[in-house]
Amino acid sequence: MRLKQRVGYKFVKGDLKFTPKTLFSQTAINFAVGFVNSLAGVGPGVVLMVLMMKLNMHPMVAERTANLVAAVITCASSICAVYYGELPVDYAACFGLISVIATAYGMKLRDWILNKSGGSYSILILLLFLMILTTFVSTSTLNLIAIAGKVQAGEPVLVFKSYC
């Protein structure tokens, strides 16, 4: 913050000023976010994006920061998984390439929508809708495949299972 002030930077609404207090609070919050994310199984961008929006960051800055954090964490966990033999390298490379291409197109679409709408809420609603739709389609597809496998194996499909 001092360097920006020395060069005459004019702070605008949404600029985060890193003072010792905000730096300590950000470190504590990020630690808590990482802990909650690991327990809940959600990506860091889900929680960090909301947090940064609450800090009045510009939506594009908050989104790109959350994406960067998610990318660093994903790379680190992927490298660990490959190192310990839990993830085949060829699969990781193929899936990684597909993910990079899909992310690039997704970011272009998001930017277009954000520029057309002029607001941050429309993009958040769109992302929520896409997450719900993706979850619904993937879960339904996987369940239908599992049911088809049971039918082919001759197992009963419409049977109530008691877990008590």
The residues, ordered by sequence, that sit 6+ positions from 114 with a Cβ below 8 Å of its Cβ are 59, 60, 120, 122, 123
pLDDT in tens, 5-20: 778 888 777 677 777 8
**Cα separation, 48 vs 5, whole angstroms:** 27
**Band of residue 161 on the pLDDT scale cut at 50, 70, 90:** low
Instruction: Please state the rounded mean pLDDT for residues 74-79.
Output: 80
Identity of the residue numbered 146: A
Q: What is the reported pLDDT for 139?
A: 85
Domain ranges for the chain: 2-87
Amino acid 32: pLDDT: 79
Whole-structure pTM over 0.75, yes or no? Answer: no
DSSP sequence for 12-45: -TT-----HHHHHHHHHHHHHHHHHHHHHT--HH
Tens digit of each residue's pLDDT (9 = 90 or more) over 40-52 = 666 666 777 777 7
User: Mind listing the pLDDT tens digit for each residue in 99-153?
Assistant: 889 888 887 877 787 777 776 666 667 777 888 888 888 888 888 888 888 889 9
Tell me the one-letter amino acid at 122: S
Distance in angstroms (rounded) separating the CA atoms of residues 37 and 123: 22
pLDDT for res 45: 67
Say if residues 32 and 87 touch (Cβ distance below 8 Å): no
| pLDDT at site 150 | 87
Q: How confident is the model at residue 74 (pLDDT cuts 50, 70, 90)?
A: confident
pLDDT of residue 1: 60
